[in-house]
């Protein structure tokens, strides 16, 4: 999830877990704990971009790191709060719960987490919620603002914190139901259309959970398209894109290419644009693909010009996001 969501949700959880024992400092510790796994952004200052993509949400988002850092944070907090009746054990479980929530929420996005590093490079992603979903974050943010201004002995503090948490839980449950129904529709459509591939990918589109992006792999490439949670039709409306793997024949064993393949989890295509070879990771959707089905993909990596790949994941997410794009999304959601 985005950093703001981690901070406000972490503060709400901190308020509930420590109640009045640590005062407003419970919110501060909760926000800090939820932010700690994201210290891996520092690695980007010296790593090649393709390596950084795998390092981000890697070891600092592992169970091992979560357990170790929870222990050290507990030692610091217990020493800092000697006067409060909070045991080292309670501090440890407090930080463990906060960091576990961070790892779980990030796994609900499509980036992929290294839960089992350094023992396994397997990336975990449930593809349930977009990395920044306003409907998921708005109530925790409002609750956070109330907690900032309400006095520590105010009788409604705990209620606001619980509201912020439970609304997020309910919305995440709603997203899981949507994921189940979209996946079921994809499987049924693949069966009815005679698509033999069992490898497919579904993820929410930009800033919402009502319209989903679908990728189905076949022998020559992928079938891609969109589906609303309100769509009851049996068939998917998909657009074919070639994988063009042959474009990698001369550089297939390059470290950069192997890292990109691993990062994309197999959902990638290649294309030649003038003198530039592009590696597209399909998991991040298209730039305004709802308006034009053959638009470029949001994640496009310049293999021919590696120095131009900063902020590659965010590069095309909001490109072409204008009023026309919003109307097109709304028409898709309503199934016009």
- What does the pLDDT read at residue 218? 85
What are the b/e assignments for 68-84, b being 16+ CB within 10 Å?
Answer: ebbeebbeebbeebeeb
Query: Distance between CA atoms of 117 and 57, rounded to whole angstroms?
Result: 10
- What does the pLDDT read at residue 274? 81
- What does the pLDDT read at residue 169? 96
- What does the pLDDT read at residue 197? 61
Quick one: which H or E segment has residue 17? helix 3-18
- What does the pLDDT read at residue 307? 66
Tokens of 1: 């999830």
CA dist 189 → 1, 75, 178, 192, 282 (Å): 31, 54, 16, 5, 20
- What does the pLDDT read at residue 316? 67
One pLDDT digit (tens) per residue for the chain, 336 residues: 899 999 999 999 999 998 767 778 889 999 999 999 999 888 767 788 888 888 899 999 999 999 999 999 999 999 998 878 889 999 999 999 999 999 999 999 999 999 999 999 999 999 999 999 999 999 999 999 999 988 887 888 999 999 999 999 999 999 999 999 999 999 888 887 776 666 899 999 999 999 999 999 988 899 999 999 999 888 888 889 999 999 998 888 889 999 999 999 999 999 988 888 899 999 998 887 787 877 888 888 888 776 667 767 666 677 777 888 888 889 999 986
User: Facing residues of 204 across strands?
Assistant: 212
CA-CA-CA-CA torsion for 77, 78, 84, 88, nearest 10 degrees?
120
- What does the pLDDT read at residue 82? 84
- What does the pLDDT read at residue 275? 81
Query: Distance between CA atoms of 128 and 11, rounded to whole angstroms?
Result: 23
- What does the pLDDT read at residue 314? 67
- What does the pLDDT read at residue 150? 87
Find all residues with CB under 8 Å of 102, minimum gap 6, and list them: 6, 10, 33, 34, 36, 37, 61
Query: Distance between CA atoms of 130 and 318, rounded to whole angstroms?
Result: 13
| Among 193, 177, 268, 286, residue whose Cα is nearest residue 236 | 193
- pLDDT digit string, tens, across residues 29-62: 999 999 999 998 887 677 888 888 888 999 999 9
């Amino acid at each position: 999830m985005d950093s703001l969501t981690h901070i406000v949700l972490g503060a709400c959880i901190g308020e509930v877990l420590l109640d009045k024992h640590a005062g407003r400092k419970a919110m501060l510790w909760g926000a800090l704990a939820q932010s700690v796994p994201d210290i891996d952004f520092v690695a980007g200052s010296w790593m090649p971009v393709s390596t950084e993509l795998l390092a981000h949400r890697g070891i600092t988002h592992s169970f091992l790191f979560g357990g170790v850092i929870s222990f050290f944070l507990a030692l610091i907090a217990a020493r800092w709060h000697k006067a409060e009746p909070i045991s080292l054990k309670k501090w440890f479980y407090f930080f463990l719960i906060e960091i576990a929530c961070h790892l779980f929420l990030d796994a609900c996005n499509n980036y992929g987490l290294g839960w089992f590093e350094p023992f396994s490079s397997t990336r975990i992603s449930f593809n349930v919620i977009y990395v920044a979903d306003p409907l998921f974050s708005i109530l925790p943010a409002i609750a956070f603002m109330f907690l900032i201004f309400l006095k520590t002995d105010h009788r409604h503090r705990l209620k606001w914190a619980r509201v912020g948490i439970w609304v997020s839980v309910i919305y995440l449950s709603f997203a899981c139901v949507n994921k189940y129904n979209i996946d079921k529709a994809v499987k049924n459509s693949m069966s009815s259309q005679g698509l033999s591939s069992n490898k497919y990918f579904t993820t929410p589109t930009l800033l919402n959970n009502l319209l989903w992006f679908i990728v189905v792999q076949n022998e020559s490439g992928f079938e891609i398209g969109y589906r609303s949670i309100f769509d009851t039709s049996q068939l998917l409306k998909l657009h074919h894109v070639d994988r063009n793997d042959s474009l990698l024949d001369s550089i297939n064993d390059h470290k950069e290419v192997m890292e990109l393949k691993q990062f994309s989890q197999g959902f990638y295509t290649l294309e030649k644009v003038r003198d530039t070879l592009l590696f597209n990771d399909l998991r991040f959707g298209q730039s305004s693909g709802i308006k034009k089905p053959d638009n470029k993909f949001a994640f496009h990596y310049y293999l021919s010009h590696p120095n131009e790949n900063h902020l590659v994941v965010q590069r095309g997410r909001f490109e072409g996001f204008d009023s026309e794009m919003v109307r097109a999304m709304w028409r898709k959601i309503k199934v016009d």
